Structure 1
Amino acid sequence: MVIPRVQWRQPDQFKALNDLGPTIKENEFLLGNEEHLAQVLATVGIPTVEGAKTPKEEAIGLLMLAAEVEHALMVQYLYASASVVGSLRKTITDIAVEEMAHLLTVQNLLLALTGREGSSTPFQIHLGRDLLRRQSSFNPLPFTLEKVSKTTLAKFTVVEKPEKILDQTIREKVEQMENDLIADKIDPNPVFALYAAIRWIFQPSDAPIGRVSLSVEMGFKPGHHLKAEDFADTQTIDRYVSNENEWTASADLIIKKVRNHNEAIEALDDITEQGEGPASADDSDSHFSRFYTAYIDFLENGASDVKDLPRTPFVNGQMAPEDPNATRISATYAASWARLFNVQYELMLVDIAYAISRPVADVRRQAMISDVCREQMSKVIGVLTKKISELPLSENSDSFAGPPYGLDNELMPQSDSEFLQRYEQLESTSLSAIFEIKQSPTFPDDFLATIPLQSIEGVTQKRAEIIQPQENII
């Protein structure tokens, strides 16, 4: 798979407007949604894919970046949620789960454009996190794992903020958050700029459509849209598309089927609306609204028992973190558990890819989702997170370690044989990490260590039964 490179192009007609940015920002409540979005695009630019020769090629590249953004936000939210208890933990965890649903909708958008080729996986599955996003200039957030704090909640709020905040009190508080973050050399970028660029390409023409009005005057390329023939055939899409029911019964998860322009626009608008909230109201149950409420509550009441998790923990051997202030887990026993966490995290991503690469009617797909993915998320990743967070960060230290979320290989297998090879390699690495844990002199006295290890053993057995070579279902 060729990994594209995304650049942020500043529209020529807005270069002069960009010089007036501070003036516009001070009076943004006077602007309509379209004018405010134009000002944002003038500041950060419009993302474009280097070397893309057609709207379809550009859409695929931008969707890959969107997948990585959703993945990265999901993990950062999960890490923060692990540092608190009670309603705040539930709020952040629920948002993280909704980001995973957004990630699956992005896979459906990729399916709509890439279809199925031969005996390979049915479409261009991309569940990575750092390949494009880390090189992209205006990421919503650099990948930084942090416990809950005033700064952490402020970053999450700004990243999810809408194009325009109607309530003056809320708008002023969010502006103050942004100013405080910038003073600390932190500059989050709203997600909506990326999705606006994707949405423009999925429009059938330059004419406004759906709930957001985009135009050439905002800097978008005239006529730069997908054609009807750029979409895969509906039979293929229906055969492989992900849906809410197979993952959960929650009404808050957005996993949309996409077969044409209109369904793509609806899916993109739903994702954007759940993140930033409707343009007509600021009291929705959006990510922005929930993070803003959590921020205000934290300022007023604090949070009981915020666990002192380290900033961006990592272990030797994983890819170097992009966070310059990352923390190495140096305690031998904790590092062994952290390495086990990393391989199980990667296994979870491969499990998701395996599941959605099967036809909806394939029993292996449903078994992988219900018997493995869900248990991997809760009984393995969740339990390992708790386990590592109770271990010392370094020898003879009172500080705790934390789950590192390191990825060795972000590209997903492209065929059944590649899946089998990847599983064999990852499970071998997992066994090595488990052996290392059991050889530690700390293990015999660690009476709770068997719980996550038993969960891993159970999930591994179920996975082995599912992926046994069978006659391909095409």
Structure 2
Amino acid sequence: MHLPFPENVAQRNRLAELLVLAAQVEHDVLCQYLFAGATLKQNYGEGGVTYGQLEQMRRWKSTIMAVARQEMEHLGIVTNLLTAIGEAPHFDRPEFPAPASILPIDQESRLARFSERTILRFVCFEMPAELPDQEDAAYLRACIPDFDPNSYDAIYRLYAEVKRLLEAIEPPDLFIGPPSAQFVSAWPAVAARGRTPGKGAAPGSIYGFSLPEISDTKSATQAVDQVVEEGEGAGEHTPTSHFARFLAIHRELVATRASDPGFEPARAVVDDPRTSDLPGATTITNPATIRVSELFDLGYAVMMQLLIRMFAHTDESEEEVAVLESLAFFPLMTTVIRPLSEILTQLPAFGSNQPERAGPSYTFPKRIDLLPHRKAAWRNLGLQFALLERRGFAVADDLDNPEPVRPRLRLVAEQLSRIRLTFENAIGVEVTS
């Protein structure tokens, strides 16, 4: 029987703690990016924008959504790393707002509308350890008093230590999780089409995701390199990195506002909206908006349950995991969560005649955790989909909501009905009364 050296066990424990932190960071920044993107105006009638500026804003939103999708991918990679070393997936994170001391990101975590300040915070999240481009360094020195990139590279340093530990620990003491428990992008998408990939099939892309199988030191460190290169860059000027993309948006935003002082790309969305009191957050008081926000919170909770089950599946078949995947990413994420987040930024936060708008809270439900028993877990998901459908139609029928958003709320409700039927057909059990 192989007995690991005590120092390897201590290093394993440290690695697991760092990966949990990394999962929290990826989930945290992901929500902030999605929130900011949802606050951008979408039509000329909202005021403060020209038609040309709307096209520029469309490109900004597309970039933010693309970065957010990669953050989802990074969360998946970190989850597979945890699984590979025999640890449990981790999807919990601090509530918004959270001070900089809570997570290793050197910045406060808060849900804030699109602005120069918000985008600059995102630039700092994705800051590399060094800035090889002197123009970038000069620009940031002009934007940030006493700027020092080493003061904003906490995420980079987090992954650097993860990689160092992956390389230091003996593989037999490290990669003890079953490979079949990982969610790898090669096989679920294929299984969803009724086929099984051949042995050694290369990872493909699910909805733009690339989740490689992690089985040894090489594949683990390559996965970490993928996260770092897509986020902070590869140690040189990388135009496609998250850092470079956000910095480009900030430059364009500053230039556009300088040429047009009346330019206002974002709706008047409050910071950190919630339906219940929390220190530092903004409590929504409009009754109709609260009902829409609660529908979003329930949809987000169900999506998290799907993701937890997908990444921590037990005795599910490949086809069953493919069902979880297809419901979590599309249509739930794309046709329910995203439209509701955008609708909320059009709804009054307080009185119907007041200018402040609401927004998605991304409130993390306290009771969400892995349900260990497959049959009960799937039954529970079915009940949640049934509740979502009922609440979706109740919100769609609510005449207290502004008339412009009602057709889209109706579409969300109809989509929730289709999702519930799809899930019932997949599990072969009717869960409606």
Given candidates 395, 398, 401, the residue that maps to 1:437 is: 395
Write out aligned runs for 1:90-239 (5 A).
Answer: 90-114=62-86, 124-130=88-94, 136=102, 138-179=104-145, 190-203=154-167, 205=168, 225-232=169-176, 236-238=178-180
Deviation, structure 1 residue 440: 4.6
| Alignment TM-score, normalising by the size of structure 1 | 0.71
Deviation, structure 1 residue 82: 1.1
Deviation, structure 1 residue 334: 0.3
Q: Is the 8 A contact 2:396 2:410 kept in 1?
A: no
**Post-superposition CA distance 1:28-77 (Å, at most 9, x none):** xxxxxxxxxxxxxxxxxxxxxxxx96222222221111111001111100
Given candidates 16, 29, 34, the residue that maps to 1:60 is: 16
* CA distance, structure 1, for counterparts of residue 318 and residue 308 of structure 2: 14
- Residues 438 and 273 (structure 1 numbering): CA distance in 2 closer, same or farther, change over 3 Å? closer
Which position in structure 2 is the counterpart of 1:70? 26
Which position in structure 2 is the counterpart of 1:219? none
* CA distance, structure 2, for counterparts of residue 273 and residue 349 of structure 1: 27
Q: Is the 8 A contact 2:389 2:413 kept in 1?
A: no
Q: Is the 8 A contact 1:443 1:449 kept in 2?
A: no
**Post-superposition CA distance 1:307-346 (Å, at most 9, x none):** 22221111127xx36xx2x221110000000011001011
* CA distance, structure 2, for counterparts of residue 362 and residue 403 of structure 1: 33
Gaps of 5+ in 1: 1-51, 115-122, 206-224, 470-474
- Residues 191 and 263 (structure 1 numbering): CA distance in 2 closer, same or farther, change over 3 Å? same
For these two proteins, the number of residue pairs brought into alignment is 377
**1:309 equivalenced with 2:281 (yes/no):** no
Q: Is the 8 A contact 1:351 1:373 kept in 2?
A: no
* CA distance, structure 1, for counterparts of residue 206 and residue 387 of structure 2: 35
- Residues 417 and 408 (structure 1 numbering): CA distance in 2 closer, same or farther, change over 3 Å? same
**1:402 equivalenced with 2:359 (yes/no):** yes
**1:457 equivalenced with 2:414 (yes/no):** no
- Residues 349 and 245 (structure 1 numbering): CA distance in 2 closer, same or farther, change over 3 Å? same
Partner SS for 1:179: coil
Partner SS for 2:267: coil
Write out aligned runs for 1:343-358 (5 A).
Answer: 343-358=298-313
**Post-superposition CA distance 1:163-219 (Å, at most 9, x none):** 10112221122234342899xxxx86531121122112111x3xxxxxxxxxxxxxx
* CA distance, structure 2, for counterparts of residue 244 and residue 293 of structure 1: 33
Partner SS for 2:163: helix
Partner SS for 2:154: coil
Write out aligned runs for 1:279-298 (5 A).
Answer: 279=235, 281-298=236-253
Deviation, structure 1 residue 420: 4.0
Q: Is the 8 A contact 1:355 1:369 kept in 2?
A: yes
Deviation, structure 1 residue 379: 0.6
Structure 1 range deviating more: 136-145 or 330-339 = 136-145
Structure 1 range deviating more: 429-438 or 369-378 = 429-438
Deviation, structure 1 residue 295: 0.8
Partner SS for 2:246: helix
What one-letter code is carried by the residue in structure 2 that aligns with 1:271? Answer: V
* CA distance, structure 1, for counterparts of residue 270 and residue 402 of structure 2: 26
* CA distance, structure 2, for counterparts of residue 381 and residue 253 of structure 1: 18
* CA distance, structure 1, for counterparts of residue 338 and residue 74 of structure 2: 20
Partner SS for 2:145: helix
- Residues 256 and 348 (structure 1 numbering): CA distance in 2 closer, same or farther, change over 3 Å? same
Partner SS for 1:125: coil
* CA distance, structure 1, for counterparts of residue 397 and residue 233 of structure 2: 51
Deviation, structure 1 residue 107: 1.1
**1:82 equivalenced with 2:44 (yes/no):** no
Identity %: 20
Which position in structure 1 is the counterpart of 2:370? 412
Given candidates 199, 206, 211, the residue that maps to 1:255 is: 211
